[in-house]
């Protein structure tokens, strides 16, 4: 009987990510990833203990490549915006992974490094104690929610068109606002929302 071929962590995480990208997060399992790799499920267990570990590998694959070095010579808000933009680019390329960034936030080196960089900028700006906690959580809430909206309910999608066709007598503001929404691109929406969030945070 031939020996099972060796697998690397990169191969396993790439296969798991391919499953999530193609079939959604719910499709992720040891069996499906083993099929993606062309090995038996038992062979995969030699390298990964369970689905939770698979999820962690995927988060590291996606976020491990995020550059967390903030640019110098700019305002704290601009530096935060750069870090947020990098996170959006990486996670936005794999939107089905978004929920995992939160469930694995305390174990993922990528998430921890990004959060540490953001907190360092907040600290330099004089945001301290509970305010710093709320600032980070508020920022994460915006980034995660905005990425999901961009991919699951984009302004350019059918939902916006349907809202423009609502009865103007019953939903005048919704219908009018949806008409404007159709003219807003994804980048403009994201950056505009981020600007509102950051403007609400205290200056140093």
DSSP letters spanning 116-137: HHHHHHHHHTT--HHHHHHHHH
Mean pLDDT rounded to a whole number for the chain = 90
Tell me phi and psi for residue 52, to 5 degrees.
-60, -40
- Exposure string (b/e) for 17-48, b if CB count within 10 Å is 16 or more? bebbeeeebeebebebbbebbebeeeebeebb
Q: Is the pLDDT of residue 43 over 50?
A: yes
Task: Report the percentage of the chain scoring pLDDT > 90.
Answer: 75
pLDDT per residue as tens digits for the range 123-159 = 999 999 999 999 999 999 999 999 989 988 889 889 9
The answer to whether residues 59 and 98 touch, using CB atoms and an 8 Å cutoff, is: no
Helix (DSSP H) and strand (DSSP E) numbers for the chain: 11, 0
Q: Residue 5, CB half-sphere, CA atoms under 13 Å: how many?
A: 8
Domains detected in the chain: 9-49 (1.10.10.60), 76-199 (1.10.357.10)
pLDDT per residue as tens digits for the range 77-111 = 999 999 999 999 999 999 999 999 888 888 888 88
Averaged over 32-50, what is the pLDDT?
95
């Amino acid at each position: 009987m031939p020996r099972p071929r060796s697998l690397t962590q990169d191969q396993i995480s790439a296969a798991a990510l391919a499953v999530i990208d193609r079939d959604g997060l719910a499709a992720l399992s040891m069996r499906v990833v083993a099929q993606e790799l062309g090995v038996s499920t038992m062979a995969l267990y030699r390298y990964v203990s369970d689905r939770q570990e698979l999820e962690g590998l995927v988060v590291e694959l996606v976020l491990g490549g995020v550059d967390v070095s903030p640019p110098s010579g700019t305002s704290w808000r601009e530096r935060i915006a750069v870090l947020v933009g990098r996170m959006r680019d990486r996670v936005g390329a794999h939107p089905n992974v978004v929920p995992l960034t939160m469930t694995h936030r305390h174990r993922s080196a990528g998430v921890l490094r990004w959060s540490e960089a953001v907190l360092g900028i907040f600290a330099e700006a004089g945001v301290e104690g509970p305010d710093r906690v709320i600032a980070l959580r508020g920022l994460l809430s915006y980034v995660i929610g905005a990425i999901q909206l961009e991919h699951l309910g984009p302004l350019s999608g059918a939902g916006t068109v349907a809202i423009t066709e609502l009865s103007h007598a019953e939903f005048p503001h919704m219908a009018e606002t949806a008409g404007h929404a159709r003219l807003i691109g994804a980048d403009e929406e994201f950056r505009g929302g981020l600007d509102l969030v950051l403007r609400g945070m205290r200056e140093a």
